[in-house]
Structure 1
Amino acid sequence: MDASATTTNSGLGIDLSKIKRGPIVVALIIGAFVSILNETLLGNALPDLMKQFSVSASTIQWLTTAYMLVIGVLVPVTAILQQWFSTRQMFLTAMTLFLIGSIVSAVAPEFGVLLVGRIIQASGTGLMLPVMMNTILVIFPPEKRGGAMGLIGLVIMFAPAIGPTISGLIMDSLTWRWLFYLVIPLAAFSVAFAAAFLQNVSEVTKPKVDVLSILLSTIGFGGIVYGFSKSGEIGWSDPEVYWMIIAGCVGLLLFIWRQLVVKSPVMDLRAFKYPMFSLVAVLMLVLMMTLFSTMTMLPMLLQGALFMTAFKSGITMLPGGVVNGIMAPVSGKLFDKFGPRVLVIPGLVITALSVFLFTTLDEASSTGYVIFIHIVMMIGLSMVMMPAQTTGLNQLPRHLYPHGTAILNTLQQVSGAIGTALFISIMSNGQKDYLKTSSDPAAPLEQAKALVSGVNSAFWVGLIISIIALAVGLFIRRTKAPEGEHAGGGMGH
């Protein structure tokens, strides 16, 4: 209601012009690196953890599913939390939760405790990601955002890429607990550094909290992520799967309706009135499905069909991650200079091409060929991800920044869960179909061929999805923020 009055009176403009961007960005990057690295760190360790705690594959996958589920439920609420708590409060709470979760996980005596640790970690990550993107939007004027988002992109892409390699190295020489011991000092450093250097950049307006919206958002996003995650394990025909997805869809529709009628929505869907933002939201949804599922299927293919060790499969995926990390800031700078089209359209073509090449893999493929395709894919994605997101967010007026970042982050989590479930179920069905026709289904080579057959079917679907992404991407173009809505820091430029 009187938010505009608060803005001018709070001297936000003055504060932002004096703000030291360097330390803020460093604090955010350290936090992001630690919490995102953690998402892929466990991947290689899952087979080991199954033996350790004597649980099945379907149980162990909860370490990953619960992580995504918590983030998917928390992120939609961050827009409102950011209006209630300062940047420092949000970030320090997020990283402290993450630190506590890491400690709990490291000392976990049994699977249940490890799962609780992961959930606490995830709640930290879920709070941190939107805060980070929102802070970048507030402290950088639109014409410098590409470079800043590129740096964040470097971390967001580089951390998960080195996760499997680090975990492979640790699993080959130490115990799984080291996956958490390693993260603890980094998380502690992040908390200390942010406590010393992070400044408040967002204003606290304390809007009315609509509890019903939060409830509906939890049922909606939680149900969908849970249903899809569970489907890979118990099949689509299981009542638990389809009732959860139905409940999720109903919750989501009610949530959307509620956001459009209440005065201060938890997630302001009016962001979708801006055409470029809506376009980018669709693009992210489609792209993240491709990215998450590739990240899940590639290690399975490398270890199951090419018979690599965990460490070797991690090393195989490292060059792509490094290239992506290097490319992110470069595409950020190019974006500031030339706008999105120059990067996004060629990037989508390259991504689609790489997914097509993935369909050609079999049990005889050389490691070099796999590394090559993975690098091609990562170059394509780095040309699309951050430039597209920055384009979409640049079009929003400032009061919608927290909502815009919450929407994009939620979509990424949900589509990641849906994509992974979809591709894994296509893959396992392909495997089963192959083994039905096999003369000796128990033979290791036949098992490997079955896996290849399943992965190939999944990548064909991936190809269709990446072609849809390309079609959407053709409409992207440079955006300008609404007049008079530049961040305070950008006023003087």
Structure 2
Amino acid sequence: MEKNQIQPIDINGNHFKRAGFVLVLMAGTFLTIINQTLLVTALPKIMSDLDINAIDAQWLITSFMLISGIMIPTSAFLLNTITNRTLFFVAMGSFAVGTVICALSTTYNTLLLGRIIQAIGSGLMIPLMQTLMFLVYPAERRGEAMGLVGIVIAFSPAIAPTVSGWIVDYYDWRYLFYILLPIVGVNILLAFFYMKNIINLTKPKLDFFSLFLSSLGLGSLLYGINVAGNVGWQNEITWISCIIGIVVIIIFSRRQLKITQPFLELRVFKSRTFTLSTIIVAIIFMTMIGSEILLPIYTQSIKEYSALQSGLILLPGALVLGVISPIAGKLFDKYGIKKIAMIGMLILTIASFPFLWLTKETAIWWIVCLYSLRMLGMGLVMMPLATAGINALPNELISHGSAINNTVRQVFASLGAAIMVGVMSATITRYSNDYEGISLPSLLKGLNNGFMSAFILIVIAFILCFLLKSPIYIKKEE
């Protein structure tokens, strides 16, 4: 085996150690992603401390998702304009500044500002890591690389509610940010030694109108979906925002296909493998995020567990996901995508069905086992599929593929939460007595129907898996 197959090479032709490079990337992305769901269980304490209502509190999460989602498509342009080392420091520096502001905040506006600055770094880090991980590993080991990516992307939001629940039960909510600061500092310090430039810059011309359309379209769509998750799909703001977002995104897409230097290269969708895998992964991810919202509602409202106990119920599944992701990556490298995807989807489908029949008497150990089995199925499918999709692209389109892959996943994650919570809320409204408020049977019916919507989506994703081909990892589509 040649030396350049063992060690990666930077843009100057110098070999460097992959381990340190990967560690810095994964740690940085883990810290930024965990903040997406870190405040979920802390919102009641923040509302009380800062004297704000539920709508204002929800904006601390919504704003993070919006800004992060808007920044993701921009990453493809930035990765070809400034060095990846500089972009890493910009992303982590922004996240660090935002974290300091959040930790020191004494007012709602200050906390919201800190979350927005954090989100800028998070939106850049996610596609940056995925692109660099693809380029720093040879083609025959990209499944392994994306298995490591899977640990970060799926594992970090899964453990955030548990960590958050423990901290807010015993300490001030600001410690959610204080504990991050020294870790962020150490990671930035290590990056000075281990982060290398591995992308040859093409320095495309910035099309400001495309940037405007991308931000407006994606921002409007994400805002509308998030509003739907909070107040329902019947709300005027929901429909107007979603329609504006969809129309602007269509205009943006048509422009990208016409200009010579597109802001975001949509021709990646010419790859059948990339298109199919992106859709399937997005559907699976939306059911994962939606389930992580519904299950705590069940355990806290029906089983009357605390936020910490509720988080601990999800923890074994998160651990299973973290363990299986790198294993699934190696299996992909060895056997290709179709077999492992079909096995993973079968496990996910079987494990999801019993959630349609939850009752107050359902044993917690049974829920923990089923949820862990669902995470096993997801771990076998998500990152191998993402790998197969991006592997089908030439190297010069990987940054665009990563940006699009993450953008679609971000939109579908918000959509999944809005659909499942929307179905639950509509069912509760239908079966509740106006004079008695929300009854236990109506809440259970709502939760079961919410999980039914997830099950239907999983079945659709399973069917789409039959359309996959399983090329050898080094084969590129024409």
TM-score by length of 1: 0.91
Look up the match of 2:356.
359
Spell out, residue by residue over 1:35-69, the C-alpha distance to the aligned partner (whole angstroms, 9 max, x if none).
12222221211222222233333332212211111
Look up the match of 1:469.
461
Contact 2:94 2:118 in 1 (8 A): yes
Distance 2:9 2:207 in 1: 27
Spell out, residue by residue over 1:104-144, the C-alpha distance to the aligned partner (whole angstroms, 9 max, x if none).
11111122221111111111010001111111111111111
Contact 1:397 1:481 in 2 (8 A): no
Q: Does 1:426 align with 2:418?
A: no
Distance 1:432 1:50 in 2: 26
Spell out, residue by residue over 1:456-475, the C-alpha distance to the aligned partner (whole angstroms, 9 max, x if none).
11111111111000011122
Q: Does 1:334 align with 2:331?
A: yes
Relative to structure 1, the CA distance from residue 14 to residue 403 in structure 2 (aligned partners, 3 Å threshold; closer, same or farther) is closer
Contact 1:397 1:482 in 2 (8 A): no
Look up the match of 2:268.
271
Distance 2:100 2:355 in 1: 38
Residue in structure 2 matching 1:314, options 299, 311, 326: 311
Q: Which amino acid aligns with 2:136?
A: I
Look up the match of 2:88.
91
Contact 2:336 2:472 in 1 (8 A): no
Look up the match of 1:164.
161
Spell out, residue by residue over 1:2-61, the C-alpha distance to the aligned partner (whole angstroms, 9 max, x if none).
xxxxxxxxx978756723211110110110121122222212112222222333333322
Contact 1:276 1:479 in 2 (8 A): no
Look up the match of 2:443.
451
Look up the match of 2:3.
none
SS of equivalent residue, structure 1 residue 347: helix
Look up the match of 1:460.
452
Distance 1:84 1:183 in 2: 30
Distance 1:476 1:195 in 2: 41
SS of equivalent residue, structure 1 residue 379: helix
Q: Percent identity?
A: 35
Number of positions where the alignment pairs a residue of Structure 1 with one of Structure 2: 470
- In structure 1, stretches of 5+ residues that fail to align are 1-10, 486-493
Distance 2:474 2:313 in 1: 45
Q: Does 1:147 align with 2:144?
A: yes
Spell out, residue by residue over 1:336-372, the C-alpha distance to the aligned partner (whole angstroms, 9 max, x if none).
1111122111111222222212112122222211111
How far off is 1:482 after superposition? 8.0
Distance 1:480 1:271 in 2: 19
Residue in structure 2 matching 1:441, options 417, 434, 437: 437
How far off is 1:267 after superposition? 0.9
How far off is 1:149 after superposition? 1.3
Relative to structure 1, the CA distance from residue 48 to residue 220 in structure 2 (aligned partners, 3 Å threshold; closer, same or farther) is same
Contact 1:396 1:481 in 2 (8 A): no
SS of equivalent residue, structure 2 residue 262: coil
Q: Which amino acid aligns with 2:63?
A: A
Equivalent residues in 2 for 1:481-492, closer than 5 Å: none
Q: Which amino acid aligns with 1:441?
A: G
How far off is 1:483 after superposition? 7.2
Contact 1:327 1:382 in 2 (8 A): yes
Contact 1:63 1:115 in 2 (8 A): yes
Contact 2:9 2:15 in 1 (8 A): no
Q: Does 1:233 align with 2:230?
A: yes
How far off is 1:484 after superposition? 9.2
Distance 2:442 2:100 in 1: 40
Contact 1:92 1:195 in 2 (8 A): no
Distance 2:77 2:332 in 1: 30
Residue in structure 1 matching 2:412, options 388, 412, 415: 415
Q: Which amino acid aligns with 1:241?
A: T
Look up the match of 2:196.
199
How far off is 1:388 after superposition? 0.1
Q: Does 1:250 align with 2:247?
A: yes
Q: Which amino acid aligns with 1:63?
A: L
Residue in structure 2 matching 1:52, options 42, 49, 54: 49
- In structure 2, stretches of 5+ residues that fail to align are 1-7
Relative to structure 1, the CA distance from residue 210 to residue 482 in structure 2 (aligned partners, 3 Å threshold; closer, same or farther) is farther
How far off is 1:158 after superposition? 2.2
Q: Does 1:37 align with 2:37?
A: no
Distance 1:360 1:51 in 2: 36
